Structure 1
Amino acid sequence: MRKQRPPFTPKTKTPAPKPDKATRYTIEQPDELMKFLLEKLAHKGRNTVKGILSRGQVSVNGKKTTRHDHALAAGDVLTIQWNITAEEDKPLGLHILHEDEDMIVINKEAGMLSIAGGEEKELTAYWQLTEHVRRSDPKNRIFVVHRLDRDTSGVMLFAKTEKAQQTLQNAWQEAVHERSYVALVERKVKQPEGTITSWLKESKTLLMYSSPVNNGGLKAVTHYKVLQNSSDYSLLEVQLETGRKNQIRVHMQDLGHPVVGDKKYGSTRNTIGRLGLHARVISFEHPTTGKLMRFETAIPGKFLRVFAPKA
């Protein structure tokens, strides 16, 4: 009689242990966050580490931070979260309104820097969008078309090719059909609408000075219309005929009604906790197709709440 073999049992591999969802470090001595991460995660490379930070995967003492220069103190607990959801992978401080092969249009929040001026120390819209396009191809790039001040919110354009950037910048006056802002300014503006014209020149301290006559600076023209007002505030629709640095902020100071929260240019109030300036509308000819594109964003609620009846 043949000896019966035991039933065949397939061999199974022991599943590899899942990586920890989070890594924690207790800080032993004062340090800068980015410097600490680069040392601890040297094997991952600088760009990968910056991406981890920009996506909100790092927290200090339980609070998320994206600032590269966040100061670490002895005893702080730093946590890196490795598993993030699709929701957490979205850019911080901005919302993508439109994207195609040539352009990205965003709605930037107040407080988000458009692009770093010197050595990058914090999260910027430019850096996040660069990370965004490189997820599909590491060679992809982002090109700056125009900028908004850090504390100005609203609609912005970025190009995804150098050709698209140059096409827009070289014919900006012709390509852009509409570019309007809303500005919350101090006190009641009595004239329903008007135009401010001056020459703007930058000082060595980076402050823009306005002159009613040509002072060797750049000519700036701003049109405004009152949308709503009270004895304390006015909400203006502002149209730019030219796009100079700090143009609206300086011209509102010239008007005698500085933008709320703009201490640099004469404001004495910061009721809303931010600069009262928002880029609401932009309309432009697409640099490749020639199609007219128009994007409009909502007026920030904080701008409108100052006009609500007091209880």
Structure 2
Amino acid sequence: MADEFLELDEPVDRRVVVAEQADVGERIDRFLASRLPDLSRARIQALMRQGAVSAAGRTLEDPSAKINAGEIFVDVPPPEPAEPVGQDIPLEVVFEDEQLIVIDKPAGLVVHPAAGHADGTLVNALIAHCGKSLSGVGGVARPGIVHRLDKDTSGLMVVAKTDAAHKSLSAQFADHGRTGPLVRAYLALAWSPPDRPRGTIDAPLGRSVKNREKIAIRQDGREAITHWEMLERYPEAGAGLIECRLETGRTHQIRVHLASIGSPLLGDAVYGAGHRTKASRLSDAARAALEALNRQALHAATLGFAHPVTGETLMFESEPPADLAGLIEALGT
């Protein structure tokens, strides 16, 4: 999918160290430091004080205690990210008040700092735009962020500016609109569109076991439901414009779901690589527009939710940006 409700608890790195009979009686912190060379003794002591070291179902908190034979588990959390700083990056603000801000994210803009993108992100832009009102809301690394879009997906996002707004919006996204007014609709250009006018894809998603960078349909994955409706067909190009409404919000959900029914997104190099040759069927204008797009043809066009304070239903619409609009026009001519 393009958009995902953020679960801010990152998985820990669980280490398992086996103490042999010959190790019995040694200090726990010294023993673990010798077996885990990437962790200093001071780091291990800190982890023990945090309750991250255990054995036989018991938490080991005293670094000077002597060990017994058996397995010792050390849960190492991911390193604390550096606090992002504000950067003067232009934002297209659709709506803003004291509680929240809705922006129309351009393609190419990463939402929050991560490996390979330490700065130049939407978060950096928001910090500069909102100032101290955003500080600490929802965590240091992703202040105010309650959902996200892929780097190369354009469209609407809402960001919380207060703790109360963050709590309310997070609950709405976690509920996926089942009991409230949350609406998320995307425009997608897909190859080999389905013959039916509309449908639902209900297929659980999880990390691919073959490629951890990709998402795949997995029976042990998390529930993922996408409702789609055909808006326009381009028979000569073998493509179509589809509106996708999310009932759940998983990473790469729309991209994987449409690919799973044989209709991957135009321009999707990850999930639509097998359809690249279809570009040869396009007119010269459409082929040039697709090359100029240089990303998956996906846009978050509609976003609706309840205002976290007033309860008023807010609904926003975003027209496709110039690159996607140009491709839609070229396919239709």
Q: Shorter-normalised TM-score: what interval?
A: 0.5 to 0.7
Residue 95 of structure 1, CA deviation: 0.5
Q: What's the offset of the Cα at 1:164? A: 1.0
Deviations 1:140-164 (Å, cap 9, x if unpaired)?
8641110000000000010001221
Q: Secondary structure at the match of 1:264?
A: coil
Q: Distance in 1 between matches of 2:306 and 2:104?
A: 18
Matched, 1:283 2:304: yes
Are positions 1:302 and 2:326 aligned together?
yes
Letter in 1 for 2:152: D
Aligned to 2:187: 182
> Distance in 2 between the 1:119 and 1:253 partners?
27
Q: In structure 2, what is the Cα distance between the partners aligned to 1:101 and 1:253?
A: 40
Deviations 1:104-160 (A, max 9, x none): 0000011111112247433111110111111x7796864111000000000001000
The CA RMSD measured in Å over matched residues stands at 2.4
What is the Cα deviation at residue 206 of structure 1?
Answer: 2.6
**Partner secondary structure for residue 287 of structure 1:** coil
SS of the residue corresponding to residue 98 of structure 2 reads: coil
Percent identity between matched residues is 33
Name the structure 2 match of 1:110. Answer: 107
The verdict on how the C-alpha distance between 1:291 and 1:266 changes in structure 2, with shifts beyond 3 A counting, is same
Equivalent AA in structure 2 for residue 305 of structure 1: E
- Report deviation, 1:263: 1.4
Q: CA deviation at 1:203?
A: 2.9
Structure 2, unpaired ranges of 5+ = 1-81, 138-142, 280-289
> Relative to 1, partners in 2 of residues 1:303 and 1:177: Cα closer, same or farther, differing over 3 Å?
farther
Which one scores higher on RCO, CA 8 angstroms, separation ≥ 6?
2
For 1:124, the equivalent position in structure 2 comes to 121
In the aligned structure 1, how far is the partner of 2:182 from the partner of 2:134?
Answer: 34
Query: Partner of 1:72 in structure 2?
Result: none
Where structure 1 has 5 or more consecutive residues not aligned to the other structure, the ranges are 1-45, 56-90
Cα distance in structure 2, aligned partners of 1:224 and 1:103: 29
Among 263, 266, 274, which residue is 2:272 paired with?
A: 266
CA distance in 2, matches of 1:96, 1:307: 30
How much has 1:255 moved relative to structure 2? 1.4
Contact 2:106 2:153 in 1 (8 A): yes
The match for 1:155 is 156
Q: Does 1:193 align with 2:198?
A: yes
CA contact (8 A) 1:168 1:175 kept: no
Q: Secondary structure at the match of 2:147?
A: coil
Matched, 1:133 2:127: no
1:211-264 Cα offsets, whole Å, 9 max, x none, are 4xxx21111111111111112221001111111111000011011010111111
Among 229, 237, 240, the alignment partner of 1:234 is: 240
Compared CA separation, residues 306 and 102, structure 1 to 2 (3 A): same
Alignment-derived partner of residue 207 in structure 1: 214
- Write the deviation string for residues 167-195 of structure 1: whole angstroms up to 9, x where unpaired: 11123323443210000111343221111
Distance 2:133 2:157 in 1: 23
Structure 2 CA distance for partners of 1:96 and 1:217, relative to 1, 3 Å: same
User: Are the equivalent residues in 1 in contact too, given 2:189–2:266 (CA < 8 A)?
Assistant: yes
TM-score norm. by structure 1 comes to 0.65
Distance of 1:194 and 1:170 partners within structure 2: 27
CA distance in 2, matches of 1:109, 1:188: 26
Task: Kindly state the Cα deviation for residue 166 of structure 1 after the two structures are TM-superposed.
Answer: 1.4
Letter of the 1:117 counterpart: A
- AA aligned opposite 1:261: G
199 and 138 in structure 1: CA distance in 2 versus 1, 3 angstrom threshold: closer
Q: Secondary structure at the match of 2:270?
A: helix
- Select the structure that is richer in helix: 2
Contact 1:229 1:307 in 2 (8 A): no
What do the CA deviations read for 1:71-97 (whole angstroms, capped 9, x no partner)?
Answer: xxxxxxxxxxxxxxxxxxxx43x4110
TM-score normalized by the length of structure 2: 0.61
